[in-house]
Every structure is written in C-alpha cells, then in structure tokens.
C-alpha cells in the first residue's frame, strides 16, 4: 500500500487565500518531500524536510513535520491561479535505506481568480 | 539535452501485445523508478532500480518487466498488455534526494 495519504483530496480556494494540505505516512522516514503536478505533466520537486526538522520555508511555501504523529503539512500562502495543480507528498521506505520513493494519493488544488 | 525523457508520449496497443516504454536520463543518477498514475490511486510504484543490473519490485509489479543494462536507460515492458494497464506511466530518476520526472507516457490498451 502507499506510504502517504494526503488530505483533503480536493481543495478549492480564491486567489490570495492560503491553502493547507496534509500528509500522513506509515513508517519511519529520514525525510519527507512535496511535489507538484500540473495537469498532464510530470511531477516537480517543491521542498524537502528532514526528519530532524520541524518546519521549513521556501518562498510562499511552509512545510511542517510531526514525526510523532507521522504527519506533515504544506501551506501555500497568498495563493495564485498559477498554483492550481495536484500536490503529493513522498517518503523513502526505511527497509530500502529510504531510497524507494513512495507517493501519496495527492491533493488537487484549484485556485480561482 | 539534459534531463529525463520518456518515449513514446502516447501509445495505443491491443490486448495481448508486448509494448516497451523507454526512459532515458542524462545525469547518471543511480536510482530510477517507474510509476503508474490512475485516477483515485495517485502514483503507484511499479519497479525501481538502484544501479545498473539492480532492480526491485514496487507496489504493483505484476505484468511488467524491467531491465537496466546501462545507468542511463530504464525500459519498462508490458509482456502481454491488458486493459487494466491503461494508465499514464511516469519514469523518474534520483541522485541524492529529490526525484526528477519525465513527461509521462499515456498508454491505452484496447
């Protein structure tokens, strides 16, 4: 089964609002990554947070990690229509030295002008 | 051109036929992956490879075969295509941490 599960499955907001999506995972990790997929395209890496970090920022992105709850959240501040995409979390499986990269089911974000 | 490329981008094949999807990367990344993406399932790992001649199964390997004779290439073969293998297939490579994805191959089995 998949390592990560994103919540919500779909999110619809207006431009300028913040978007928060959550990811839960099942096993121990050494890092957690977030990716973005525009419709019909491949995934693009957004941000990585290591297991010993609790929060990380990159531009309008803020990621948090709670290893005790096996969960992470991705916050996009001041959303733009161009942020419309699907967002996935990904983790490496411990029994493969964290190299086998497994993705969640994704959150579809729609940002309306 | 540097990057990761998949071919073909679109393919229609008949049930029972063998079809090979190609993946080529120019970074000499050690790790390569094949995923399939279906509505409601996100990305599911089919096979991955840690280096040339080293491959291992992912979540959904049945009906697929991979090989990796060269670091830069990681072809995925459907030995006898079935309608349930209709999907979008993504190849990815990974050097140290982040993965880079190809543009995908949309495969339809009729």
Residue A94 contacts B where some CB pair is shorter than 8 Å: no
Range A56-83 average pLDDT: 96
Residue A10 contacts B where some CB pair is shorter than 8 Å: no
What pLDDT score does A3 carry?
61
What pLDDT score does A1 carry?
46
Cβ atoms of A89 and A25 within 8 Å: the answer is yes
> Using a CB-CB distance cutoff of 8 angstroms, which residues of chain B are in contact with residue A40?
104
Provide residues of B within 8 Å CB-CB of chain A: 31, 33, 35, 40-45, 48, 50, 56, 58-59, 90, 92, 94, 97-104
- pLDDT tens digits for range A3-52: 668 889 999 999 999 999 999 998 888 899 999 999 889 999 999 999 99
Measure Cα distances from B106 to A6, A20, A36, B85, B102 in Å. 24, 30, 19, 11, 12
- pLDDT tens digits for range B58-95: 999 999 999 999 999 999 999 999 999 999 999 999 98
Where does the pLDDT of residue A96 fall: very low under 50, low under 70, confident under 90, or very high at 90 and above?
A: low
Residue A106 contacts B where some CB pair is shorter than 8 Å: yes
- Distance CA(A28)–CA(A67), nearest Å, equals 8
What pLDDT score does A65 carry?
97
- In this structure, the strands spanning B42-51 and B76-78 are unpaired
Whether B97 sits inside 8 A of A102 (CB atoms) is: no
Provide the domain count of chain B: 1
A99: region left, alpha or beta (phi > 0 left; psi from -120 to 50 alpha) = alpha
Domains and CATH numbers, chain A: 4-112 (2.60.40.10)
Expressed as residue numbers, the domain containing B57 is 4-109
User: CATH no. for residue B31?
Assistant: 2.60.40.10
């Amino acid at each position: 089964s998949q390592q990560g599960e994103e919540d919500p499955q779909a999110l619809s907001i207006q431009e300028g609002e913040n978007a928060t999506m959550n990811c839960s995972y099942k096993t121990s990790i050494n890092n957690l990554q977030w990716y973005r997929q525009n419709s019909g395209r491949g995934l693009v890496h957004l941000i990585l947070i290591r297991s010993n970090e609790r929060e990380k920022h990159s531009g309008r992105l803020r990621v948090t990690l709670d290893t005790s709850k096996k969960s992470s959240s991705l916050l996009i501040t001041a959303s733009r229509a161009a942020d419309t995409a699907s967002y996935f979390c990904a983790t490496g499986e411990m029994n493969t030295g964290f190299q086998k990269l497994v993705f969640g089911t994704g959150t579809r974000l729609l940002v309306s002008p | 051109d540097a990057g990761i490329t998949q071919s073909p981008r679109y393919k229609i094949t008949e049930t029972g036929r063998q079809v090979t999807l190609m993946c080529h990367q120019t970074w000499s990344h050690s790790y390569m992956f094949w995923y399939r993406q279906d509505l409601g399932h996100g990305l599911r790992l089919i096979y991955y490879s840690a280096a040339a001649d080293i491959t291992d199964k992912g979540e959904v390997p049945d009906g697929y075969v991979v090989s990796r004779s060269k670091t830069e290439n990681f072809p995925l073969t459907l030995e006898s295509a079935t309608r349930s293998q209709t999907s979008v297939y993504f190849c990815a490579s990974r050097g140290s941490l982040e993965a880079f994805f190809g543009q995908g191959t949309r495969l339809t089995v009729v």
